[in-house]
Amino acid sequence: MRFDVLTLFPEIFSGYLTQSLLKLAIDRDLASVHLHNLRDYSKGKHKEVDDRPFGGGPGMLLKPEPTIDCVEAVQADPSAGGPGRLLMLTPQGRRLDQPYVEDLAQSPRLLLLCGRYEGFDQRITDLLQPEEVSIGDYVLNGGEVAAMTIIDAVVRLEPGVLGDETSSQEDTFSRAGRNLEYAQYTRPREYRGLAVPEVLLSGDHEAIARWREQNAAERTQQRRADLLPAASRSDQPAADTTN
Q: Is 15 annotated as a binding residue?
A: no
Contacting positions for ligand ADE (CB under 6 A): 89-91, 115, 134-136, 138-140, 143, 146
Which CB sits closer to ligand ADE, 54 or 138?
Answer: 138
- Is position 192 annotated as part of the catalytic site? no
The catalytic position among 77, 171, 181, 218 is: 171
Q: Is 119 annotated as a binding residue?
A: no
d(CA 113, CA 88): 5
Which CB sits closer to ligand ADE, 135 or 180?
Answer: 135
Query: Please, what is the minimum distance in Å from the beta carbon of residue 98 to ligand ADE?
Result: 16
Query: Please, what is the minimum distance in Å from the beta carbon of residue 139 to ligand ADE?
Result: 5
| Helix/strand/coil (H/E/C) assignment for every residue in the chain | CEEEEEECCHHHHHHHHCCHHHHHHHHCCCCEEEEEEHHHHCCCCCCCCEECCCCCCCCCEECHHHHHHHHHHHHCCHHHCCCCEEEEEEEEEEECCHHHHHHHCCCCEEEEEECCCCEECHHHHHHHCCEEEECCCCCCCCCHHHHHHHHHHHHCCCCCCCCCCCCCCCCCCCCCCCCCCCCCCCCCCEECCEECCHHHHCCCHHHHHHHHHHHHHHHHHHHCHHHCCHHHCCCCCCCCCCC
Q: Is 8 annotated as a binding residue?
A: no
Which CB sits closer to ligand ADE, 84 or 143?
Answer: 143
The catalytic position among 48, 77, 118, 218 is: 118
Q: Is 117 annotated as a binding residue?
A: no
Which CB sits closer to ligand ADE, 130 or 179?
Answer: 130
Q: Is 115 annotated as a binding residue?
A: yes
- Is position 118 annotated as part of the catalytic site? yes
- Is position 171 annotated as part of the catalytic site? yes
- Is position 11 annotated as part of the catalytic site? no
Binding site: what residues are annotated? Answer: 115, 135-140
The catalytic residues are: 91, 118, 156, 171
Binding site for S-adenosyl-L-methionine: what residues are annotated? Answer: 115, 135-140
